[in-house]
A = this chain, B = another copy of it.
Amino acid sequence: MNGLSAFLLPRGVILTRARRFSSVSTERLEFDKFGIPTEVIQLKREETKFNLKSGEVLVRFLASPVNPADINTIQGTYPIKPTLPGVGGGEGVAEVLETKGSKLEPGDWVLPGLAMSGTWRTHGVYEEGNLIKIRNDISVESAATLMINPATALRMLEDFIPLRAGDWIVQNGANSAVGLAVIEIAKIKNLKTINVVRNRENIDELKAQMKRMGADEVLTEEEARRAWRELPRPRLALNCVGGASGTELCKALGEDGVHVTYGGMSLKPVIAATSHMIFKNISLRGFWLSRWYKEQGMNKTRLKMISQLTDMIAAKDLSPPPLNPIPFNQFKPALETTLKGFKGAKFIFKM
């Protein structure tokens, strides 16, 4: 029994009517111009009356995280620019409240199908075709955070080079949300991972945690630099750092290796030795999940991937990243901390 269907209904009232809401208290984190997120984002509260047209779905969001790309979207520096006024947030999970002429039913869980659709809101009306139904027996936290980071991890492991059980991959920024998903999904696929992280005070604790998740090797940047010769030669490298750290991954790779950049945390470019390109035949590629989603549209490949991920979550093989749940009214410190590049637990709005 999910959400509304658990309400006590007056005898004889038709269920679909009972689920209609004449007026609802809604909240959203809105911006009417691009700029510094803590300055342009405002918490809007209003009583809203929803009149659904055919094919439309009213949902209530359960949780939506704060991702770095959300910050860049509000700054106006991300390649996807929402129409203004916009609502912040690129992913999250919502529960269907009411539908009109849709196969979705109240209580169903859905993810937004469009990129940067504005998920920092309590309520929203969507066309059915822009929602993806997922199983609703997993944790809200996992459901709210699977669409971007675990999806990026899965696509990078599947789309660039055919990998077989026992093959090695290498990644930097390995304790990022994507990095942790890579470790878990690689383990499911029986791939071996070399994980590079920045040195820090609690490095031994971090290494132990990552190994418990399934990491085969965890090395600091300095340790990695000295270790490549003794380590197996990976076929795939995943780079979210750039600069010298990305170059090191080219050294690590074996012949014909593929180096995929999906982030640039160092703010430095991707740099590869000419000899690695020519004589070792390394390819440097880039990955952007928004492009993949756009290319796929709402086709079977996309739906299959989402259900692949939710099944991994249900099987306890894929976990959400460390999260820090907050209500909407604490958005300022959350945005400020994310803006500064804080690398701890990700903030997640719980509605």
A286's partner among B261, B262, B277 (CB-CB below 8 A) is B277
Given contacts A279-B79, A285-B283, contact A271 B270 (CB under 8 A): yes
Verify if A186 is at the interface (C-beta below 8 Å from B): no
Segment 130-166 of A: residues with Cβ below 8 Å from B: none
A278's partner among B275, B278, B281, B287 (CB-CB below 8 A) is B287
A247 partner residues in chain B, CB cutoff 8 A = 269
Say yes or no: A283 contacts B283, CB within 8 Å.
Answer: yes
Verify if A107 is at the interface (C-beta below 8 Å from B): no
Say yes or no: A274 contacts B263, CB within 8 Å.
Answer: yes
Q: With the chains together, A276 CA to B33 CA distance in Å? A: 26
Q: With the chains together, A205 CA to B123 CA distance in Å? A: 68
A242 partner residues in chain B, CB cutoff 8 A = 274
Verify if A303 is at the interface (C-beta below 8 Å from B): no
Given contacts A269-B247, A283-B285, contact A274 B264 (CB under 8 A): yes
Say yes or no: B270 contacts A274, CB within 8 Å.
Answer: yes
Interface flags for A90-120 (1: CB within 8 Å of B; 0: not) read 0000000000000000000000000000000
Verify if A282 is at the interface (C-beta below 8 Å from B): yes
Verify if A288 is at the interface (C-beta below 8 Å from B): yes
Verify if A273 is at the interface (C-beta below 8 Å from B): yes
Give the residue name and chain of the B residue nearest to A79 (CB).
B279
Q: Tell me, rounded to whole Å, the shortest Cβ–Cβ distance linking A176 to chain B.
A: 15
Interface flags for A243-285 (1: CB within 8 Å of B; 0: not) read 0000100000000000001111000011111111111111111
Give the residue name and chain of the B residue nearest to A77 (CB).
B275
Most chain B CB within a 10 A radius of its CB, from A264, A274, A284: A274
Give the residue name and chain of the B residue nearest to A284 (CB).
B284
Verify if A229 is at the interface (C-beta below 8 Å from B): no
A276 partner residues in chain B, CB cutoff 8 A = 286
Interface residues on A, range: 20 to 34
A284's partner among B262, B277, B287, B288 (CB-CB below 8 A) is B277
Say yes or no: A286 contacts B291, CB within 8 Å.
Answer: no
Q: Tell me, rounded to whole Å, the shortest Cβ–Cβ distance linking A90 to chain B.
A: 15
Say yes or no: A261 contacts B277, CB within 8 Å.
Answer: yes
A272's partner among B263, B275, B280, B284 (CB-CB below 8 A) is B284
Give the residue name and chain of the B residue nearest to A264 (CB).
B274
Give the residue name and chain of the B residue nearest to A282 (CB).
B286
Say yes or no: B288 contacts A279, CB within 8 Å.
Answer: yes
Apart from A261-B278, A263-B278, list 15 A-B contacts with CB within 8 A: A79-B279, A247-B269, A261-B277, A264-B274, A264-B278, A269-B271, A270-B271, A270-B273, A271-B271, A278-B286, A279-B286, A281-B286, A281-B288, A283-B284, A284-B284
Some 12 contacts from A to B, beta carbons below 8 A apart, are A79-B279, A264-B275, A264-B278, A269-B271, A269-B274, A270-B277, A274-B286, A276-B286, A277-B284, A279-B286, A284-B284, A284-B285
Task: List chain A positions with a Cβ less than 8 A from chain B.
Answer: 79, 242, 247, 261-264, 269-288, 291
